[in-house]
Amino acid sequence: MQTFVLVVHIILAVLMIVLILVQHGKGADAGASFGGGGAATVFGASGSGNFMTRLTGILTALFFITSLTLAVFAKQQTTDAYSLKSIPATTTVPATLPDSSPTTPQTGE
């Protein structure tokens, strides 16, 4: 599951980079008023701004969701790695303890 989310996250990042680089800035609208806006007519009268802006917002929201999901996965891995649950219970207490009393020599007075 984590690998799938990571792959989707990387694809969304690349799509966002491409989409943002394809968009034209606010200053490009002034140039279009002097006769250079022929390419914007492909997307209709409103231009490509509305469609691409909305698509950028959707991709950004999905990118944040995958980022938060990956953060949750990383937190779970860190918690599991440093948890006391991961220590195996292989130590056993012997049933009979050996006699640990010190042996002192008996002196006869």
pLDDT at residue 39, rounded to an integer: 52
pLDDT at residue 25, rounded to an integer: 74
Distance of CA 6 to the CA centre of its chain: 7
What does the alpha-carbon distance between residue 68 and residue 100 come to, in Å, rounded to a whole number? 57
In this prediction the pTM is 0.58
Specify the higher pLDDT residue, 106 or 37. Answer: 106
Residue type, 45: A
**Average pLDDT score over residue span 37-53:** 64
Cα four-point dihedral sign 101, 104, 105, 109: negative
Contact between 70 and 9 (Cβ < 8 Å):
yes
Residue type, 7: V
What does the alpha-carbon distance between residue 108 and residue 26 come to, in Å, rounded to a whole number? 108
Name the band, by pLDDT with cuts 50, 70 and 90, for residue 95: low
